[in-house]
């Protein structure tokens, strides 16, 4: 099908009187063969169409997620103000006093006292053990410090007859060395 148009179009820059260009926007040479029509059945890039099952599964998933979100926000059991008042009354009643009889209350108090006494005894025993351990550590620390001080001070000085005896022994050793070295 050929469409002839004698007036030039705004985008056509050819010579006046030649008419509008062929489809594609370019002017054809006179006598040139007409271009082959495009084959719409052939694509330049081969592509696989998405399976309809995949599309349905995606739509179903989106609807499911939307339904869960909508139900969690807008659905569910609604609590009326009457229900809230009943719950508050129940809490207040349980806080004021329990439904136990006098005998049950006494038994409960006795078991609580026994448990408290047992806990206090264990706590006192634990504290005693900690104090004994601390005292032992302090005693060991003092012994270690005393041993360090004794080691730093050197041997204890000798006095009296023992000192004179030790001194005369040292003198005799000194004299022996002097004789051996050729001294007096």
Question: Cβ contacts of residue 16 below 8 Å, gap of 6+?
Answer: 8
Q: How far apart are CA 155 and CA 31, in angstroms?
A: 131
pLDDT tens digits for range 87-123? 787 777 666 566 677 888 888 889 999 999 999 999 9
- In percent, the amount of the chain with pLDDT more than 70 equals 65
What's residue 89's pLDDT? Answer: 78
CA distance 42 to 46: 9
What is the reported pTM?
Answer: 0.28
Q: Is the pLDDT of residue 172 over 60?
A: yes
pLDDT in tens, 24-83: 555 667 777 776 666 666 656 767 788 888 999 999 999 999 999 888 888 766 777 777
Determine whether 150 is exposed, middle or buried from the number of CB atoms within 10 Å of its CB (0-12, 13-18, 19+). Answer: exposed
Domain ranges for the chain? 99-147
Give the integer Cα–Cα distance in Å for 97 and 87: 16
């Amino acid at each position: 099908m050929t469409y002839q148009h004698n007036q030039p179009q705004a985008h056509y820059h050819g010579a006046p009187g030649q008419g509008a260009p062929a489809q594609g926007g370019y002017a054809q040479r006179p006598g040139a063969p007409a271009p082959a029509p495009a084959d719409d059945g052939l694509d330049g890039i081969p592509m696989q169409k998405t399976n309809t099952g995949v599309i349905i599964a995606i739509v179903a998933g989106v609807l499911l997620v939307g339904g869960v979100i909508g139900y969690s926000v807008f659905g569910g059991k609604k609590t009326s103000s009457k229900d809230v008042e009943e719950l508050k009354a129940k809490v207040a009643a349980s806080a004021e006093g329990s439904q136990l009889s006098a005998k049950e209350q006494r038994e409960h108090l006795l078991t609580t006292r026994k448990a408290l006494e047992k806990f206090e005894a264990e706590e006192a025993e634990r504290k005693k053990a900690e104090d004994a351990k601390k005292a032992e550590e302090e005693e060991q620390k003092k012994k270690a410090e005393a041993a360090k001080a004794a080691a730093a001070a050197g041997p204890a000085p000798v006095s009296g007859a023992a000192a004179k005896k030790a001194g005369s022994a040292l003198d005799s050793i000194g004299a022996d060395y002097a004789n051996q070295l050729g001294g007096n």
